Amino acid sequence: MVIAGSEGAGRKIRGKVILQRERCKGCGFCVEFCPTHVLEMDKGLNNKGYHTPMVVSAEACSGCDLCGLYCPDFAIFGIRIPRDSSEKQEIV
């Protein structure tokens, strides 16, 4: 499982991408529909022989979860991270 997130202190919304590479079949929907261009297809292969997405711009992630909404294999999702510990974690 790959976890990548944004750590920008000045951002209003921070997000994190969670990817389960072994569930992925490399359709590329997550890369295509990511509004902040956080993902690209990896040149390497997973155990099933598919090219999977990789996080190339973690700091840009807003946690919108469009990647997870379009994923037919439920291999990826985005979560929003609270700016401080008093906020609850919101899953969108």
Q: 37 in a domain, yes or no?
A: yes
Helix (H, G, I), strand (E, B) or coil at 92: coil
Residue 52 structural domain: 2-75
The 10s digit of each residue's pLDDT in 3-22 is 666 555 455 668 999 999 99
Contact between 58 and 6 under an 8 Å Cβ cutoff? The reply is: yes
DSSP category for residue 18: E
Domain-located, residue 82: no
In a domain, 92, yes or no: no
**86 part of a folded domain:** no
Residue 80 token pair = 């929003």
CATH number at 55 reads 3.30.70.20
Query: Is the pLDDT score of 86 beyond 60?
Result: no
Q: What is the pLDDT of residues 28-46, one digit of tens each?
A: 999 999 999 999 999 999 9
Count of structural domains, the chain: 1
d(CA 52, CA 5): 18
User: 28: which residues sit within 8 A by CB, 6+ positions away?
Assistant: 41, 53
Report if residue 22 sits inside a domain. yes
Segment 43-78, tens digit of pLDDT: 999 999 999 999 999 999 999 999 999 999 999 999
